[in-house]
Structure 1
Amino acid sequence: MNMPDSDSLLAEQLLRLTRRVHRIQKRQLHERGLGVTPAQSRLLRTLAHWETPPRMADLAERLEVVPRAVTTLVDGLEASGKVRRVPDPANRRVIRIELTDDGVKVLQELHAVRRAAAEEILAPLTDEQRRALGELLDTLVDTHG
């Protein structure tokens, strides 16, 4: 077995799976009429993990994108009422981004979209295959995450 060919095949399979997951999530976002793009949904999920509302620079770093990309995402989410810009209580020149009540509701729907996408992707696997896949993915994430 030629390892580079085998590794290339695995890499291609992982990329195809990732694209399939994105397509399913995008379709379900559209079907549910949530009015968010996949990139906006990622920003909303990221926002949910902060104890205090982050600055745009914090979001850009966490999302590994340029700050301008975060500004564009926040502008769209703010226009639709899912996030708001708030001044930092300690330094009013600093702006932080927080979820609105509508943003929290959309985030709950996004979790349902992700679960449904996972169910669709994993449907052909047995419970044993799912456990094995989970262990393999944990190994990859823990080693390279």
Structure 2
Amino acid sequence: MAGFTRVKDVLENYQSSVYEKDVEKFLSSYADDIHMYDCWDSWEVTGVAGLRDMVTGWFTGLSEEGVLLKVMFTDLVVEENSDLAFAHCAVTFAAHNEESGDKLRQITNRFTYCFKKENDVWAIAHEHSSLPINGETGGGIFNLR
């Protein structure tokens, strides 16, 4: 695990590793016993091994499509004490063509993170992404922000 001494360092690593499509760098943001509720495909992911499978598929798909994904955190609120931190924010994922740089699409999700500090290093222990649901269609609403 990388030596993230600030919660902000973990989130910056998240951003850069997604853009670089670097699976191992991405996973370094997470605790080995990560518990994640994601908006895509499955109810939950537990453990870094399960997360590795999910992220590898995600990054492979982006590479095959020729997409660079830029991540932006907005409305970020972080509360922390010596060993635990909590954050919530909106996270925008903007897909750009790898060659031209043209923006292709974007979505914005709501995220909640729980961080824990072990041996003076922060890691994401729990992550929950969510979307508001359209009451008429039952589908997720991705771009209210």
Could you say which TM-score interval applies, normalised by the shorter chain?
A: under 0.3
Q: Which has the higher helix share?
A: 1
Q: Which has the higher strand share?
A: 2
Normalising by structure 2, what TM-score?
A: 0.21
Larger Rg: 1
